[in-house]
Amino acid sequence: MFYDSFQAWWWPFVFITLAGVVPTNMWRWIGVVVVGRLDESSEWLVLVRFVASSLVAAVIAQFVFFPSGALAAAPLWLRLGAVAVGFISFLGFGRRIIVGVIVAETVLLSGMSLFAKF
Amino acid sequence: MTDNANPLKVESPEFGGSVYDWSWFRTGMRQILSLPALILVSGFIGFGGLARESGVSVWEMIYMVPAIWALPSHLLVIAGIGAGASLVTLAPAVILASVRMMPMTMALVPDIRLPRSKTWHLLAVSHLVAITAWVHVLQRAPDIPRAGRLPYFVGFGVMLVMSSTLAATLVYEAAASFPPIVMAGLYFITPIYFATSLWNSSRYRAEHIALGLGFALGPAMAMILPEANILAGGIAGGILAYGIHRMFFSQSGKR
């Protein structure tokens, strides 16, 4: 079943509910119900934490490698370069998120004004 | 600290049974002006643009932002919709990516509940568990009387949800009138914001390896499994990093 499987107006809402709302909220509900009954330092939860982090990194990469729309006008090397320089600045300046965001944006936007084809 | 030691049996009037002190609701709401809140809302500015590009309608986005309320899940859903992923690969990816909500909720509940808090209160409030409000309330809880903690958390959480939804909607609607380079800049906020905040919130050293592997394997898997590359790359990267964690860091792996 896909996002565009049915033409009905309500289908996208059902799709979003099944693909995103229930899969996210079930963990919050489970958390409330099992609180105090589950060992939070269990190895299972450590493995799960690693998989969750890696998955979110894969999502980030999806937007950098396969962007749609306006960002696709920037070449791949520029997108990757902007992320890399932004990230290194973030690490170099005391892991301040705002530094990473500003540097990455500056590299991307100045690169795009020179190289991007609209 | 008796309330922490035995939270379900204490009934001293100081803790008020299940009577919350709602004067803390407004104090929580005012935290919308804090720096972490502003960064989160700017992440949703980028999300509004990404959502538009992925092809979801504005009403679908207005539903999705508060109903899911976890930016990694939001991003997975719109990336999946944009890439034409099926429910069978998308739902497991979101399930795996949001497991962290469970330990986060488990850590918060003992701090904010009252001796006779109803379970349904906590189930409802747990919807607001997401990284920004969670970190903030865990830090501030010791300075807030117990009866005020749940209202404080709800006040902050509700303001975050409303501001983020509003920001995403305004950008979605205005996107067409912005020059393309401005839109490109807005889309780009979310990935870099997430890469850096995830790096900061990781608890184990090898978790940084998990982030690097996921970033590399996700796109690489697109050549083999174009419709399930995020799921496949994420699982492979997580398991590999866990192996490295067990081999090299398990004695002193905590950061």
Residue A98, domain extent:
39-115
Q: Does residue A26 form part of some domain?
A: no
Taking one residue from A and the other from B, the number of pairs with CB-CB distance under 8 angstroms is 329
Q: Does residue A11 form part of some domain?
A: no
Residue of A nearest to B196 (CA): A97
Beta carbons of B87 and A19 less than 8 Å apart: yes
Q: Does residue A55 form part of some domain?
A: yes
Q: Does residue A23 form part of some domain?
A: no
Q: Give the total residue count for chain B.
A: 255
Q: Does residue A34 form part of some domain?
A: no
Q: CB B209: neighbour CB atoms within 10 A?
A: 24
Return the top range by mean pLDDT from A36-45, B23-32, B38-47: B23-32
Total domains, chain A = 1
- DSSP strand E in B133-191: where? none
Q: Does residue A89 form part of some domain?
A: yes
Q: Does residue A81 form part of some domain?
A: yes
pLDDT tens profile B100-151: 788 789 888 988 998 888 899 999 999 999 978 887 888 788 899 999 999 9
CA–CA dist B35, B119 (Å, integer)? 32
pLDDT band, residue A46 (cuts 50/70/90): confident
Supply φ then ψ for residue B134, to 5 degrees: -65, -50
Paired residues of B254 in beta bridges: B204
Beta carbons of A69 and B187 less than 8 Å apart: yes
Q: Is the sign of the CA dihedral A28, A32, A34, A35 positive or negative?
A: positive
Q: What is the mean pLDDT of the segment spanning B168-191?
A: 88
Tokens of B107: 């850590």
CA–CA dist A54, B75 (Å, integer)? 14
ipTM attached to this prediction:
0.86
In Å, what is the CA distance from B156 to each residue of A50, A93, B74, B167, B233?
29, 29, 20, 16, 35
Residue of B nearest to A69 (CA): B53
Residue of A nearest to B107 (CA): A35
Q: CB B45: neighbour CB atoms within 10 A?
A: 18
121-140 in chain B: CB under 8 A from chain A: 122-123, 126-127, 129
Averaged pLDDT of chain B: 87
On the CB side of B48, CA atoms within 13 Å amount to 25
